[in-house]
Amino acid sequence: MKNFISVAALVIVMTSCQKNTEQQPAPSSSSSPTQLAAAPVTAVNAVSTTVTTEAALKSAVANAKAGDIITISGTIKLTSTLQLLNSGTSSSKINISGGTLDCSGQPSGSWGVKVNGSWWNVQNIHITKAPDAGIVFQTGGNNFVNNITTDFCGDTGLQVYNGAFNVSVNNCHSSSNHDAANGGENADGFACKLSSGTGNKFSGCVATSNSDDGWDLYGNPNPVTITGCTSNSNGFDVNGDGNGFKLGSSGQNMHHTITNCSASNNKAWGFTRNGNAKGAITFSGLTGSGNGSGLSDL
């Protein structure tokens, strides 16, 4: 009898302990002292700034650090090139977006915006009337570009240049750019030419009514990827080549990739290798009509 009572008591104790254990909530990962200390670091240090003047914009850019958010409100008239020289990090980019940058007050030959830094998000900005190129990415890398409009600039609207690498250009529009002094010879919608780095790509972009080419990859020493882009009515001045997509230059064997793009009503070719080795370019889904030299010589 004593043995039976002892066993019963033990079962009750074990059952009670089990219930107490099940009723205790599992520790939350957010309650970890280490995580609580680490998580707010970026948020605490990052600055969110809305700017309405050139002085405020240039101050915000000059002091920008990883995680900062710079918002342009309204139209800011620039009197000199806006230079994005600082760098974010892979996990905490510097962000700039919004508004219009009127570059008509800059000195002759100036770029509207120059990006030498890395790890930037550049989005939703209208860049207009730069004396030379609208926005140029050079030396830096790993920059994300989305919904930028460049128009009425004195050279190419948006250019990737001088070693810039891993620049991802998405959903951008470039139109009516014209280097009148050269008879339209140089002003493309988009250019990734001469000296850009590796990993550059364009997706969902549109080039319209630029005096030279829609896209120009002349002399580019590294492959470029172009997907889902459109190029129409380029080459309107006497010296403008007027190709929808110029994909290389003479003597090259450069393996660019172009997919699901359209080119119509351009002065010369819709798609041209421009002397790049025959068969070097990977292409599919190319459409268009009304191009002066034909759709493609790829």
Query: Is 157 in contact with 177 (CB distance < 8 Å)?
Result: yes
Counted residue by residue, the chain has a size of 298
126 contacts: CB under 8 Å, gap ≥ 6: 99, 100, 101, 148, 149, 151
- What is the Cα gyration radius of the chain? 28
Alpha carbon separation from 208 to 135, 211, 234, 258 (Å, rounded): 17, 9, 6, 18
- Tell me which residue of 224, 225, 215, 277 sits closest to 246, measured CA to CA: 215
Angstrom distance (rounded) from CA 252 to CA 12: 84
Q: How many CB atoms neighbour CB 28 within 10 A?
A: 8
Angstrom distance (rounded) from CA 45 to CA 38: 12
Angstrom distance (rounded) from CA 174 to CA 157: 6
Instruction: Kindly state the tokens that stand for 277.
Output: 């080795």
DSSP 8-state code for residue 141: B
Assess whether 246 carries a catalytic annotation: yes
Grouping H, G, I as helix, E, B as strand and the rest as coil, residue 278 is coil
Query: Is 214 in contact with 244 (CB distance < 8 Å)?
Result: yes
Angstrom distance (rounded) from CA 294 to CA 77: 41
Angstrom distance (rounded) from CA 215 to CA 230: 10
**Among 193, 246, 267, 278, the one annotated catalytic:** 246
Query: Catalytic amino acids?
Result: 246
